[in-house]
Structure 1
């Protein structure tokens, strides 16, 4: 059966600036792929990330190059060699999953052989600001089960103390987004223990993390920017204790599931993350999240307006999208 592919740039304004160590976002820029066949439609979303040399334009160009293959019937297995890991492949891969679910009248969970996604605890993010502003933001969500705190190398101690004082009972993920060096990490470890930090996410640059090999951290360290696909685990397993699976890095749910299962097979902890995105990205990521120790899928919570029928947050608990939104015909 022939298919029709459409790819477009969708913009989503944010309610507040999303500030991390390498910059600030005021809108989310997504690439949406729509596949139509026999009157049925599958959708997928990818969020290109400049940190990995991606842009909306480069993603749209990459998708256009494989249009003929996809429209001629290339499946998810073929897609893995048609495009490299990244946002472009993620958008197409997830559209193929959604279309397959609708064509078979089976949910993506059924196709995977897994339970349907249910509500789960997902981190709410406190972004970089003054310690007082971060405390105010943390206090507003202090009854949530899990917080993620963005910091840089300027004054992380003051920021983290302010957040912990405002939210004394939440589990805590600290995310410097590669802004620390070895000296700062070693210096701040006692503070992380004192503040009952559950996870330290990618504290140092992914290109300067070789010293982590053989290092025994006081708080488990999660690889984010350092890991994209299952093949990376040969190195990652000797440097990190937890792996953050993001579908935009892995290049889709197909590769994301492969990375998640390979992570578990090596005895490493598992996290599911996302870019600042709409619920179309999150609906697919939920199938990795159900396997994970830590879930950070609050991307849509930052949007002024999400796609209709998407996920919802209730006090730090993420509710799956409405039936028919993605992957559930």
Structure 2
């Protein structure tokens, strides 16, 4: 198993650094150079190396019918499981919801990435996610302190189908190597089996300020009030944000040679290239202009199946080098 890990965090200072680095990488930051020509400062636009741009590296993507097999590791209530299950059901247009919708967000991934892979061979083929099955390991058979290789082993237990994704979700009392310190989730793959896997942890009791922001105050940076989560469960709504981000990476860069920016070992991908951006006008410490439910006061940017509302990450548009948001 070759795993590629990715970090998503609401850490204000890190978000600021990310924005500056992304600005440089995308060629959008002007550098002022004092060259002393008659007291005039010359402005020079930084032109990044092509390897620093989010581009297609001619590898495989996941497309067509993508079966997702879920493994719940640790204890989750039926209500908690329904939050994620309904999100997965919402990804397909077969589950209609008012706009802006989860299926609209998924369609953006297909439009910006999947349709352009393999010389555009996938352009006319609809890509849909299907919930293939769910299994539980409530007793935590591998213990409650997991190393990264064990995540791949758990993914294999989910029995993902060829061209599909195994989704491993760990409960809030399960510690995972690097969780909270350097990652909120990750995705990897089994190149031989041609399957991908995604892991995301419930951060409710370990690091909600890092992995469930903006539904919890960040550990560092601007301390704006936390937003109200749509499901009423900070940990689960945080998990959905991270599941969305990692699934976006898993389908567009499943085997490390698809769409990404930067080094292959630590790439920026479709969603992770837009850290902390959920709505228009976002900046470090502010998630952006979001919709607010008049009854519950919950903030969201996407409608889903069964009346659900979700907050989903912005997606990077390689053509314009901007972050595309639903609202």
Q: TM-score over 0.5 for the alignment?
A: no
Higher relative contact order (CA 8 A, sep 6+): 2
TM-score normalised according to structure 1 size:
0.27
TM-score by length of 2: 0.27
